Homo-oligomer: A and B are copies of this chain.
Amino acid sequence: MIRPARPADVPAIHRLICDLAEYERSRDQVEATPGHLHAALFGPAPAVFAHVAETEAGTESGTESGDGPQIVGFALWFLNFSTWTGRHGIYLEDLYVRPEHRGGGHGRALLTELARICVERGYRRLEWAVLDWNEPSIGFYKALGAVPMDEWTVFRLTGDALAKVAGDGES
């Protein structure tokens, strides 16, 4: 049901990323192409990883692609690091299950697999960011025992501001 992504999964993962962006009301912000994903996930020395949730043909209603197994969700993640623990952890960048396949345990199974990897490798933390208005997800995560890092805000430097800071060292 849960397995590491393979190169042949890239088109399906890309479609799910576009679906997720739509859910987050940001479809127009997706610049990533299947080529970008393939290069990052399956190039030399990858620094980002993905797992997929797959159904068997015929085990769920609403399948649309005939007989083969179908990718209905994915988790995309990378390693973070804490200077307090001195160990790596997993940062879950995206977790998504297609709406018509929710409630089947796929999201939970993806999280379980990442938690299992953490425990197996001695990673101390599994972290991810949630939109503040996404109440269904927040309830689910709190029920798992995840704790909101309410005291912290992420700052982002991008675009022209990033280029400007990068240019500070030039004369």
Contacts and interface: CB of A to CB of B under 8 A. Distances in A.
A130 B158 CA distance: 17
A144 interface: yes
Interface string A83-116: 1111110010110000000000000110111011
Contacts of A81: 40, 47-48, 76, 78, 93
Contacts of A37: 83, 86
A112 B168 CA distance: 6
Interface string A30-69: 1111001100100001011000000000000000000000
Given A17-B83, A79-B78, A81-B47, A141 B112 contact: no
B78 A83 contact: no
Nearest to A148: B153
B45 A45 contact: yes
B108 A168 contact: yes
A113 B169 contact: yes
A149 B153 contact: yes
- 6 A-B pairs closest in CB distance: A32-B86, A145-B161, A36-B86, A115-B166, A115-B165, A48-B81
Interface of A: 17, 20-21, 26, 29-33, 36-37, 40, 45, 47-48, 76, 78-88, 91, 93-94, 108-109, 111-113, 115-116, 118-119, 124-133, 138, 141, 144-158, 160-166, 168-169
20 contacts: A29-B84, A36-B86, A36-B87, A45-B45, A47-B47, A47-B81, A48-B81, A78-B79, A83-B93, A112-B166, A115-B168, A125-B162, A126-B165, A129-B149, A131-B151, A132-B153, A138-B155, A141-B157, A144-B157, A154-B154
